[in-house]
A and B are shown apart, each in its own frame.
Chain A
């Protein structure tokens, strides 16, 4: 139950590979339009798949690349979800949506934690904000 909660709304690796192949469902496409970490993972998978097709990566190593991407995806999902969970606990769901939408697409934008830090700092104080961000770094 906890696991499904943590992955709530994020597509799994198989769905991202389908998207990279141009076969994703509209739901996945809509999610990637909103969620920057998933969008970036999707792009990496697409680049790897295309590189493999062009013969830049030997077919045999594609599985290894995907495994590596899967590991990174796990880290990104866990890190992002931890920040989202903390934001939701202290502020609410709305702020998570707002921060996610404001950090999406623009490559110059900072990730969710960077958006959360000023909120933690202002409303909970430096001491509490530092404790929260260091815990988030530990669990990511």
Chain B
């Protein structure tokens, strides 16, 4: 037996930083939720909605933009780690492009489109400011279906890879139920908004058609995500599996967030439920970061030849002889 690899492989600085990211994201999201709940309580006691508005305008927006930046960076780094010809390289290219569009849309709607002290547009004259703000919101909305198209393309390559290596599994009853909920919502959305005489208060044009495409696209994304989730769930709970479980969670939470917005616009939600439904977007953003973060962590560790946490610490602690079966 070779004794060449008798010492542990030390983790690189980048590896250690990336390893901390999931925990940081979870703590930050938890802290944000506590702040959001505190703001909602203050609002319900005082009746002053500035509490809730300030929460979503400042920490909420900054959190979403921060998540968008991290998502893009991790996705891009994952793409870089794959070599030309690797089956998931195009997937990560599409996922990176989707993250870039999501971030641009976020900058337009969460930063330039809102009236806040951190928006540089507020320094401009009132007429110009309002026109630019409205433009940012209008254009920002279009990035949502565009990123979904790119993400769907990326996930298609993931599914293809799963099929090629034989880990693609069939859908179960629960999967069909999940999908059914989103399809039902899409049908309701089209019946009550797109095909209604008022068209949800919008004039039919290219802009409206593109923004309405979000819901059918979410159905496509959800089918892909459920198939990937089924395959990932059958692998276990390792770093790579966690990545794809996070993508599935992000897509499902996006669907829930969209359903919340639709229900709010139709007046089906009480004001407290309405505020609670907005928090779902934070969870979706967190899941969109965690997916690429786990993948990047896995790739960094694999490139350095890590065989697992216990294995690596074990080599340093006991040496190869004991690890290879000292009790025999």
Contacts and interface: CB of A to CB of B under 8 A. Distances in A.
Contacts of B177: none
Of B241, B307, B315, the most chain A CB neighbours within 10 A belong to B307
Interface string A92-116: 1111101000000000000000000
Interface residues of B, number: 50
A124 B298 contact: yes
B328 A125 contact: no
A98 B328 CA distance: 26
A138 B307 contact: no
Contact of B240 (A75, A91, A134): A91
A86 B87 CA distance: 21
Interface stretch (A3-11, A26-34, A45-53): A3-11
B240 A86 contact: no
Contacts of A43: none
A75 B1 contact: yes
A126 B318 CA distance: 31
Interface string A39-74: 000000000000000000000000000000010011
Interface string B138-152: 000000000000000
B231 to A, nearest CB: 10
Interface of A: 2-7, 12-13, 70, 73-75, 77-78, 82, 85-96, 98, 118-129, 131-132, 134-136, 138-140
21 contacts: A2-B310, A3-B327, A5-B310, A6-B314, A6-B323, A12-B328, A78-B323, A78-B325, A82-B307, A91-B235, A94-B233, A94-B234, A119-B167, A123-B88, A125-B86, A125-B88, A125-B299, A127-B83, A128-B298, A132-B305, A139-B307
